[in-house]
Amino acid sequence: MQQLPRLSGADPTRALDALFVNAPLRDYGRRPRTNDYTLPVLGMAYIATYAQRAGFNVGVLDAEAHGLGILETAELVNAARPRWAAMNLLAPTYEMSARIAARIDPDIALMVGGHHAKAMPDRILADPRMANLRALVLGEGELRVAALLEDEQRRRELPGVLWRDRLLGTRATGIPSGRPNPQLLGPDINSLPYVNRAFLPQDPYRAAPTEADRRLALSRGTDPLRTAARTGHLEANIVGSRGCPYNCTFCGAAVSANPDLTIRVRSPENIIGELDQLHDEYGVTAFRFVDDLFLGAGRVIAEQMTAFARHRIGERYVWDATGRINVLDRLGDRDLDRLVQNGLREVALGIESGSDRVLRAMDKRIDAAMTERVAQRLVRHGIGVKGYFILGFPGETHDDIAATVRHIRNLWAIADSSPGEVRASVFEFRPYPGTPVWTTLTDAGHDPEGLLAYGDVDLTDDGADESMRQRDEFNFSVGVQFGDVPLAEVRSTLATLTREQHQRNQSVQGAAA
């Protein structure tokens, strides 16, 4: 195999068994990307790492991270000439994936997985652009992908693997002989190898120093943190668990959308082993837990923090994590102190709305008062809060959106008198197939074709608006008004809040300097 640009993790001296392709959110050949960083494809890298450990030569082509267009992505796949091209299908990127697939050499077998593949398998199998689709893998793919790379005919005995019979034109399904191995569908995550970061072109990455870093360095007095306060941390993303017990109606991870998924949390020792491995190999001193459960269950928090304290994690590293507001609301001040002592820097919270009526429709199991109470306690302990918000949710009124705007500004005001910061990240509502709200919308008469018509929305003014530039990858929409508020007003409110947050970021960075 020739050395190809933008191919991550493959051995160029051997023939390529599989190339894992992360499609771009839009065709960057038509409008170049403006943001500098995108989230790494950790799920794809887990599968690639497992396949590599099984002896296969595999690589990752992250077209989103590299800002590639459809044509360039397909040309790179064809030039690499893998036996298999594998794609993770998401609703916003499905059109991009299908257009790339249509351009791939027919001698290259196609394999797909991901949330969209799981939610709409028959639609994908029937798509003529997916004519060379030889395996659609439902759910977690590590063990079954490796089995398919070993022998395509094994698909007949693998559970949760679909394909279309070319002769009969019918859907074919793997049928295990005897009792299926449950590990095939949900592997023991403590037995999986640590992700090979060679597959991730943007992880680890260098992050600019923040005011939170400066405060932590002063309070801890440890050399690695003092250095990071001046130069910025080398940071890496990490997964601490799989599955979510909640049923937020808009979320692809909702428990009702994944009845086959067993919730599993990595052991503290397994997680700490990866933290230390990333530090020893790359010099990483900051980590971001991107899964739902790391700060999403009291028992898990207690177990992890006991191990973190034993290994003196807080003296060596800092970390951010997602959290559940209702769970954090039950923690005492000593619990929050313990989180800080163990290195917690920021918690990402799915706040979503300032309207209790909308929160009930989302099945969030929180209210605005709880969010303000939790945020106030966190920032007073010096823990930053990153709040995610949705505008344009089905049935949302002008009063509901006004409540969300007030809510965000109340949270900013709370942070202004506290050592911790509050950052607001606001998104336009987008429906995802397989989620509870998708069923609600289609039952109400919405055409699935319209709900799948994702397109990018340029809120950056061709990159000129600095406040929008770094979130450009998230500005996409199906162009449907789901609530009472016109889309133009939803986007205007989103832009206003984003610009205000950008101004706050600039003032904090100025103070830190």
The one-digit pLDDT tens for each residue of the chain (513 residues) are 556 778 999 999 999 999 999 999 888 888 887 777 788 999 999 999 999 999 999 999 999 999 999 999 999 999 999 999 999 999 999 999 999 999 999 999 999 999 999 999 999 999 999 999 999 999 999 999 999 999 999 999 999 999 988 777 778 998 887 777 878 888 999 999 999 999 999 999 998 766 665 665 555 555 555 555 545 789 999 999 998 999 999 999 888 888 888 889 999 999 999 999 999 999 999 999 999 878 999 999 999 999 999 999 999 999 999 999 999 999 999 999 999 999 999 999 999 999 999 999 999 999 999 999 999 999 999 999 999 999 999 999 999 999 999 999 999 999 999 999 999 999 999 999 999 999 999 999 999 999 999 887 777 655 446 666 666 556 778 999 999 999 999 999 999 999 999 999 888 766 555
Q: Which residue has tokens 């799920």?
A: 43
Q: Report which secondary-structure segment, H or E, holds 18.
A: strand 18-22
What is the distance between the alpha carbons of residues 430 and 426, in angstroms, rounded to a whole number?
12
Positive or negative: CA dihedral 434, 435, 439, 444? negative
Residues 6+ positions from 166 with CB-CB distance below 8 Å: none
Q: What are the tokens at 506?
A: 């600039």
On whether the CB atoms of residues 352 and 391 are closer than 8 A, the answer is: no
Count the neighbouring beta carbons within 10 Å of the beta carbon of residue 103.
Answer: 14
Task: Tell me whether the omega of the peptide bond preceding residue 204 falls within 30 degrees of 0, making it cis.
Answer: yes
CA distance 228 to 119: 43
Domains annotated on the chain, with CATH: 18-176 (3.40.50.280), 204-512 (3.80.30.20)
How far is the C-alpha of 359 from the C-alpha of 246, rounded, in Å? 14
Here the tokens at position 357 are: 């009526």
- Quick check: helix, strand or coil at residue 10? coil
Dihedral angle over CA of 346, 347, 350, 352, nearest 10 = -40
Q: How far apart are CA 53 and CA 17, in angstroms?
A: 13
The pTM assigned to this predicted structure is: 0.91
